[in-house]
Structure 1
Amino acid sequence: MFPTAAQASKCYLVCYALTRMYQPIFLVRIDERTGNLFILAGDDIEILIDPDGELIYDDAT
C-alpha cells in the first residue's frame, strides 16, 4: 500500500518540521486497515495523517 499524494506531501512537511527541532524519526508506516500514515518520532511523538492529508490528533494524551 502506498501513501496518497496528500499524505506524502503532509508527511514531508511534518518530517521536515520534526528534524528542524532535532527530533529523531523512528518509524513511518501506513496502517493497512485504515489507510492512515503513522509517524513515530522523538520520545513520545505519535502523528497520524489520514488519506486526505489531514493530521489526526489524539485528545486522550
Structure 2
Amino acid sequence: MGALLWLLIPVVAALVAVLWSVWAMRNRKTGDVAELAGYARFRAAMEKEHSASDPASDAA
C-alpha cells in the first residue's frame, strides 16, 4: 500500500502541472487593444494639455 501512495504523489503533481499549464495558456479577453487605446487617450490628453499652456509660445 505504501508503494501505491508513493506512486500517487507524482501522478497528482503531474495533474496539477497540466491544470496550471492549461490555465496559464488560456485565451485572455484583454490584450494589446485595451492597452493601446489607453495609451492613445493618454497621448491625446497630453497633447491637449500641452497646446493649452505652451511656454514656448508665451516667450515669443
State TM-score, norm by structure 1: 0.31
Higher helix share: 2
State TM-score, norm by structure 2: 0.31
Higher relative contact order structure (alpha carbons within 8 Å, sequence separation ≥ 6):
1
Higher strand share: 1
